[in-house]
Structure 1
Amino acid sequence: MVQKGKNLPEIKQQGPRRRGRPRAYEPDVALGKALDLFRKGGFAATSLDDLSAATGMNRPSLYGAFGDKRELYIKSYTRYRADARAAMIEIFRGDMPIRERLKRIYAAALDIYVADVSAPQGCFTVMTAASEAVADPEIRAMVLDGFAELDKAFESCFRRAKEKGELPPSADPGVLAQLASATIHTLAIRSRARVPRNELEAIANGAIAVMCGGGMP
């Protein structure tokens, strides 16, 4: 029985609880998982079921977060390029002899290509995006932009080295830049074929010797 005169605590009426849908994934993590799959198998061989299993997201969630499969591929490639740029930008910008700079650039590239020694994935650009570029104008533009960006970065390095007297007056920074980029691509292809890292490093050192015009570094 309720006694008169007693102050009773106020009972607030609570409506039905709203059952929100907590985000079950981290977008950056999910994108990284998708990136790994695309690097490993390419666009065509990577199914939506594969992507769903790797990211832990069902198809509607994938579509809602990243768009269709092609959009997710492009976002993955964009992420790859950003990560690669971040890994190398300080080496390109730093103040060091050209031989040391090239050696460090190629070492950083190999760190990316053979991060997983049991399943080296090589370079996203060379191993998968270049294939998709044949039929997809947007991806082709991205690939060509990536090539141009790398060439330009290398050319700047060789130009500074020439100004400091590290290269002969006859050296052409533009041509050397293309050779340096071609060496990056060669390392990417051979790493995908599981050529041992010590052999890849020997290729890089030989290329450095040729580009810098002298004996082995």
Structure 2
Amino acid sequence: MVQKKKEGETTVPRRARGRPRAYDASDALARARDTFWQGGYSATTLDELGAAMGMNRPSLYGAFGDKHALYLATLERYIEVSEAAMNEVLASELPLAAALVRVYDLALALYYRSADAPTGCFLTGTAVAEAVDDEQVRTILGEGLRVFDRAFEARLVRARGSGELPANADAALLSRIASAILHSMGVRARAGDDRAQLRAMAEAAVAMICGGGMPGHEPK
């Protein structure tokens, strides 16, 4: 998914070694997210999370709850920040094609942020496996996917109204195609696909979407 750092910090008091300190809750969640992102939910231990976040177990429990609650919080935060970044780009005055390409470029920058190995998308890369047996993860995953659909759809509806898309273009269907490309890029990045190839795939998808959709398709 697409992610952009938000401005502003939230500080929450905690104790470490018996002395009061302040920590940045957003930064702590980002560190937890990166730890889950690297190892997956099941394989990541509380000790690894505490070390990454600079928190002992009592402080971690007091601030975020148990490991499961912390993981849910990282998923929700990832969706929130990604949605904000997408909406910022898609609400701009960029032409439709340029806006869509910009979203995909932001996603690729996130998926390939590691010089050692591409990380792909945090949401689909970790939550898909857990969603099979975890109803809360499944709910967050499903809503996250719909959040990205809605962001694309709002821009496509605007494009249809301004004449950038044909009047009969199915914005809902095209938004799901745009999302599918986004998620596929995340999976393929983690699987080792070349970044330039994924960029070319995104450009081809944008050309198809901006051409009005699938030939022969009649919107309902």
The TM-score range, normalised by the shorter chain, is: 0.7 to 0.9
Equivalence for 2:63:
65
Equivalence for 1:202:
200
Equivalence for 1:128:
126
TM-score by length of 1: 0.83
Stretches of 4+ aligned residues off by more than 3 angstroms = none
TM-score by length of 2: 0.82
**Please, what is the CA RMSD of the aligned residues?**
1.9
Which structure shows the higher strand fraction?
A: 2
Aligned-pair CA distance for 1:61: 1.9
Task: Name whichever of 123-132 and 175-184 sits farther off.
Answer: 123-132
Equivalence for 1:3:
none
State, as a whole percentage, how many aligned pairs show the same letter: 47
Aligned-pair CA distance for 1:25: 4.2
Aligned-pair CA distance for 1:188: 0.5
Task: Name whichever of 165-174 and 60-69 sits farther off.
Answer: 165-174
Residue 141, structure 1, aligned to residue 151, structure 2: no
Q: Deviations over 1:179-212 (max 9, x none)?
A: 0000000111111123222111111001111212
Unaligned runs of 5+ in 1: 1-18
Give, in whole Å, the separation in 2 of the partners of 1:199 and 1:193: 13
Equivalence for 1:177:
175
Aligned-pair CA distance for 1:24: 6.6
Give, in whole Å, the separation in 1 of the partners of 2:159 and 2:171: 9
Larger radius of gyration: 1
Assess if the C-alpha contact under 8 Å between 2:86 and 2:151 holds in 1. Answer: no
Give, in whole Å, the separation in 1 of the partners of 2:113 and 2:122: 13
Bigger relative CO (Cα 8 Å, ≥ 6 apart): 2
Assess if the C-alpha contact under 8 Å between 1:25 and 1:57 holds in 2. Answer: no
Q: Deviations over 1:57-95 (max 9, x none)?
A: 222221112110001101111221222223222112112
Change (3 A) 1:88 1:38: same
Change (3 A) 1:46 1:139: same
Count of matched residue positions in the alignment of Structure 1 and Structure 2: 196
Give, in whole Å, the separation in 2 of the partners of 1:24 and 1:167: 51
Q: Which amino acid letter does the alignment assign opposite residue 183 of structure 1?
A: I
Task: Determine which of 34, 37, 40 is the counterpart of 1:36.
Answer: 34
Assess if the C-alpha contact under 8 Å between 2:111 and 2:121 holds in 1. Answer: yes
Task: Name whichever of 166-175 and 70-79 sits farther off.
Answer: 166-175
Q: Secondary structure at the match of 1:23?
A: strand
